[in-house]
Amino acid sequence: MSTKAIKNIYNLGVDIGSTTMKVAVIDDNNNLLFSDYRRHNANIRQTARHIMGAMYAKLGSCSLRVMITGSVGMGYAERLGFNFTQEVVAAAEAPSGMTSSTSRRPS
């Protein structure tokens, strides 16, 4: 009988704004596992690649439930087939205390 390793499944939130990209990964217990904040200088794809590389280096192999928001996020969500939510809705629906811990710039 073969045993397959069970992948961790996390929630990935991506905020693509007009000048920056912010990313947060949380587990099902709302623990913040990874976050990043970078200026994208209009090169969103390259910035996303760098952030995702850092994320996978920290978290290892995992599956992600993706939600995208931000002023530039809708177009990317549509093209990539990911869910999109308006920023105001995302903030209102975030678990209590989550928005303050994920919205600050990581040190």
pLDDT digits (tens, 9 = 90+) for 43-102: 999 999 999 999 999 999 999 999 999 999 999 999 999 999 998 887 787 766 555 444
How is 21-54 classified by DSSP, letter by letter? EEEEEE-TT--EEEEEEEE-TT-HHHHHHHHHHH
pLDDT, one tens digit per residue, over 11-53 is: 999 999 999 999 999 999 999 999 999 999 999 999 999 999 9
Q: Is the pLDDT of residue 4 over 80?
A: no
What pLDDT does residue 92 have? 82
Q: 3-class DSSP state for residue 80?
A: helix
